[in-house]
A and B are shown apart, each in its own frame.
Chain A
Amino acid sequence: MAQKKTDSVKRMVELATFYVGDALCGMDILKIQEINKLTQMTKVPQAPEYVIGILNLRGQIVTIIDLGKKIGLGETEINQDSRNIIVNDSSGHVGLLVRQISDVVSADMERRESAPANMHGIQGDFFTGVYKTEQTLIGILDVDKVLSIEE
């Protein structure tokens, strides 16, 4: 594997972690363009259920996806803690609404474990693995999968 050949610094990935429902999830911080808490969304009737609206990010139209709904962890309530994680997508930016933002964790990707067997179903598909810190488990989100459009 290519990863094994690279030195240990390269293996370290900064994971931005956040809560989706009650689950702590993480993703490579380099994939994130910004995190904001804009709430002035415009509803889009007819849109897929997980799209909660579109918002104006400095002149760009950003589609906001309720991450909880998308990966099957329940609807996310928009409140003081909720944030949009803006990521780059092939056709522009997409915002992922999460319940709360948590810390940035330096993670050694070598120590990443595959998703546990009991984490199956819809959610399981969206994770590439699990990272264990001293206190907790972080589900590593497969961003491309989250952004994909299922038929």
Chain B
Amino acid sequence: MHIEDDEILQGFIEESLEHLADIENDLLSIEENAADVDEDLVNKVFRAAHSIKGGAGFMGLTTIQELSHAMENVLGMIRSKTLVPTPEIVNVLLLASDQLQRMIEDVQNSNDVDIESHLVPLNAIANHEFAQPAERSEARKTKTKITTPAEPEAAPAPPLSVEPAEDKDEAIEEAEAAEQLEAATASEEESASDPEDQIEHPHLTADIDDPADLTAETVSNRDNGSSKGKMETSIRVHVSLLDQLMTLAGELVLSRNQLLQTIGGEDFRNMEAVGQRIDLITSELQEAIMLTRMQPIGNVFNKFPRVVRDLSKKLGKKIDLTIIGKDVELDKTIIEAINDPLTHLVRNSVDHGIGLPDERRKAGKSETGVVQLKAFHEAGQVVIEIVDDGRGIDGDALAASAVNKGLLTLEQTQAMSEKEKVNLIFLPGFSTAKEVTDVSGRGVGMDVVKTNLDKLGGHVDIISEVGQGTTISVKLPLTLAIIPCQIIMTADERYAIPQVNLEELLRIPASQVKERIERVGTAEVVRLRGNLLPLIRLSDVIGADRTYYDPKEDMFKSDRRQLISDRRSQESPLFMDKTQAQEDRANAESSRHDRSVKDRRTSAASALNIVVVSTGSIKYGLIVDKLQDSEEIVIKPLGRHLQQCKGYAGATIMGDGRIALILDVANLARMARLTSVDGSDRATELAIAAEEAVKSKKDRQALLVFRSAEDEQFAVPLNQVDRIEKIKRSEVEIVGGKRVMQYRDGSLSLMCVDDVAMVKPLADHEDLLVVVFHIASRTVGLLAIGPIDALEISADIDESTLKQTGIMGSAIINGHTTMLVNVFELTQTLHPEWFENREVFEFNEKSGTQPPTILIAEDSNFFRNQVKGYLSEAGYHILEGEDGQVAWDLLEEHHQDVALVVTDIEMPNLNGFQLTQRIKSDQRFSGLPVIALTTLAGEEDIAKGKSVGIDEYHIKLDKERLMASVHDFVKRGR
């Protein structure tokens, strides 16, 4: 071989690989169309093979040339419609194109590859098939085991020598094809006496008998090859994008010149302008460069038609693969990294998801299964969904299997929700198929998939219904290079924590540290909404100096406490032992500060800042000195001298030019020897939670607690809160007699509880909080002051003593009488005009002779009265039952009147699920809509509710949505 010019060769390889990538899918479409040949498509494949042949001839790659030539012959015949592309023929072509690809990826050795096994069937097809397509298929059916070799030599030796260099010319090509045809016809005539001998060529039959075996192998081979050979080395960038980059680079140079000039001239006003300009150009440049890394997801998706085709053939299944959203773009690194997990998931769907045609027919489904691969953008992320209409995943079977394998105990699985059971599939050491097949399901798959996707900052979710199918959705960030991070400070250095790991930020005021921080052995934990959260002190884990931040002096001071709950300094000299005295002298500077404050345990400096982070199944609190903003950062790798520092995922450069380290949350947990809360622990946790729920038999309600006046505590349901903003009093503007503030480029209407309710006026603080709600399709802010807290309480709500307009009731929370604010009523009183169009909606019931009857099933008096209040206000007639059983009896009694059922989920005697089930399975009520109200609208509950027939879910006290949906159902029912 004489390859002189590396560059030309490289060009050839790239071009050929591109051609081959297309060939595969095109061949598959040709196969689909069968006799109905799409000429353009065949032409395209033909030209691709032809270009490869031409290039190979030029480079002296004779083997590649020979094979592509043989393919071209067959394609030529398909094009001229002298040959019908049966699946068998397409298979031979596919195998040949796989071989071509392998050879092209390893060009240097390509001339030594034995391609006889491909040439023989190709030539056999070219020689004889076209004349006798009918016989051919017949011959195959009879499966005559004739082993006479087909004298491949008899096939006209392709006149290769003619064209290598000059055959770019289409005309020559045509002539050649014609020649080829003639030759083929001739040889066909020769052997016409015994066509079967020719057809049933051993190689050909061998290939066709078990094509999937071969292809499966080649597919995986190719994967390795292409991901290394094709993706890493070079990337295709659109010229327009390059032009844009050039323009930006040019502008950057101009701005630099300007900057230098300005610095020389000391013209400070201009300097600002130049700075802004550079800022602008830089961000544009960054964006443009990021774009060059974006690749269409089609690069990964395109191989799946083949994978699915080969697999389904092998397994004897009929599967249609639909691909949607090929154009969705993702960062190159992500595209490369999702290849394997996606392949695994698709294979799983084909292997385990879709049943055999027989099985499907019995289940009343069409024989052909559908697998859908979908990519789309959602909320700044890319979502990839793999949907099948197959058997679905049986959570109970999984749970049983987990118990059998000893991964979980029976009690643990009983406490799990359906969704959690389905997610058991991600536990290490799990295989779903009853038999382990070589396609997927070696029992190591799904957990690896999850781990790999976790590494990318992705998230996998499975929704499955037995008998209906499975949807696996994978959420991925657009790019890995820029990630949003929370910046924190410890020991006077900044660190970044990726937002994907961030659960919440927690500040424990100094006064509560003692109560909320507990010790379990040597470990410290914090009580967070009833659960224990392990705590890690960042400075300890990474071995930095223990410090704390003193906001009064805006500086970091060294901290000598061993335990968080210890006092930082002791007032009494009795506590001063010798070592401490020495230590104090050593820290003379900081000690003096220490002493200046009397007991800092109650000063602001002793408050704890905890970043609650999670990674995989581990969740813990990281104690840091100070919380800063969240920022988008660019990840930069650390040098090799720092590779041993496992606590960091990299570093980033902050706005001031200094570096902040990015924390690796998973490794920090490992370093602190936090054990993972794995599936079984989670199950225990759930069992306990379930037990507690049974014990208390009360609805738990998540509340946001805040104050308006110093000594009056209020609460609102947490799920109504959009977000909380910290503002200064000066930001509140009074315009047109209304209080507003600027918020997200608009004005946010502000109100106070005392605007409506008879409570003490808003405290005169400089720092205010705005609790933002979304009501009547607008946002509205409620002014409040701290301290705020989110907690879950058992609803023991007194709804008479303190009830008034804007206050729905009261409860004792943490020893304080707390008023529950009815935000809806507040808004309605202050802004009746917002609800005007809704009134119309509510009045149209009057046209009917009798108001529709709504049955409410709810065990808590408080909630029942609330809902009853809303509904009767809107003109409905109400029947109420304090549990499911009572409601059912009422329904039986008034079955012709009831137009709608509104039910709670957790109720004694007959719970909401059971009630719904009973209603839906009774013929009299099968059409009766059921709306469920719940305090915990977890996805699991929703899924469970849907399965028993609940028509809609609403969160308790979300009056607006409930009313809209009630109206909707009542109207529909008429």
Contact = CB atoms under 8 A, between A and B. Distances in A.
29 contacts: A40-B658, A42-B658, A42-B659, A43-B491, A43-B493, A43-B544, A44-B642, A45-B645, A46-B542, A46-B647, A48-B641, A48-B644, A51-B641, A51-B642, A54-B638, A54-B659, A56-B657, A56-B659, A59-B653, A61-B636, A61-B638, A61-B653, A62-B639, A63-B641, A63-B642, A65-B641, A89-B639, A92-B639, A94-B641
Contacts of B543: 45-46
Given A54-B639, A56-B653, A61-B639, 12 more contacts: A44-B638, A44-B645, A45-B491, A45-B544, A45-B647, A46-B646, A47-B645, A48-B641, A54-B642, A54-B651, A61-B659, A92-B639
B746 to A, nearest CB: 37
A149 B658 contact: no
Interface string A45-71: 111100100111001111101000000
A3 interface: no
Max count, chain A CB within 10 A of own CB: residue among B637, B639, B642: B639
Contacts of B653: 56, 59, 61
Contacts of B647: 45-46
Contacts of A45: 491, 539, 542-544, 645, 647
A54 B495 CA distance: 13
The size class of the interface chain A forms with chain B is 20 to 34
Interface residues of B, number: 25
Interface string B491-505: 101000000000000
B383 to A, nearest CB: 33
Interface of B: 491, 493, 539, 542-544, 636-642, 644-648, 651, 653, 657-661
Nearest to B650: A61
Contact of A89 (B638, B640, B660, B661): B640
A59 B12 CA distance: 37
A135 interface: no
Contacts of B640: 89-91, 149
Interface in A76-127: 89-94
Nearest to A63: B639
A134 B639 CA distance: 39
Contact of A42 (B539, B639, B660): B660
Contacts of A94: 639, 641
A59 B640 CA distance: 17
Nearest to B490: A45
Contacts of B660: 42
B89 to A, nearest CB: 52
Given A42-B493, A42-B658, A54-B659, A60 B636 contact: yes
The 5 lowest CB-CB distance pairs between A and B, nearest first, are A63-B639, A45-B542, A42-B659, A45-B544, A91-B640
A139 B276 CA distance: 49
A50 B97 CA distance: 56
Contacts of A62: 639
Nearest to B657: A56
A56 B659 CA distance: 6
Contacts of B642: 44, 47, 51, 54, 63
Nearest to A51: B641
Contacts of B661: 42, 44
Contacts of B648: 44
Contacts of B646: 46
B646 to A, nearest CB: 8
A54 B631 CA distance: 21
Contacts of A60: 636
A51 B641 CA distance: 8
A46 B639 contact: no
A94 B638 CA distance: 11
Contacts of A91: 637, 639-640
Nearest to A59: B653
A62 B641 CA distance: 10
B657 A40 contact: yes
A45 B659 CA distance: 13
A89 to B, nearest CB: 7
A63 B640 CA distance: 9
Contact of B638 (A43, A63, A90): A63
Residue picked from A45, A48, A60, A63, most chain B C-beta under 10 Å: A45
Contacts of A40: 657-658
B36 to A, nearest CB: 57
A91 B642 CA distance: 11
B883 to A, nearest CB: 59
A55 B544 CA distance: 18
A80 to B, nearest CB: 21
Contacts of A59: 636, 653
Nearest to B671: A46
A9 to B, nearest CB: 33
A61 B543 CA distance: 22
Contacts of B491: 43, 45
B664 to A, nearest CB: 12
Contacts of B659: 42, 54-56, 61
A45 B544 CA distance: 6
Contacts of A48: 641, 644
B658 A56 contact: yes
A103 B229 CA distance: 48
A112 B647 CA distance: 44
B592 to A, nearest CB: 25
| Among B542, B544, B642, B653, residue most surrounded by chain A Cβ atoms (within 10 Å) | B642
A60 B639 CA distance: 10
A40 B658 CA distance: 7
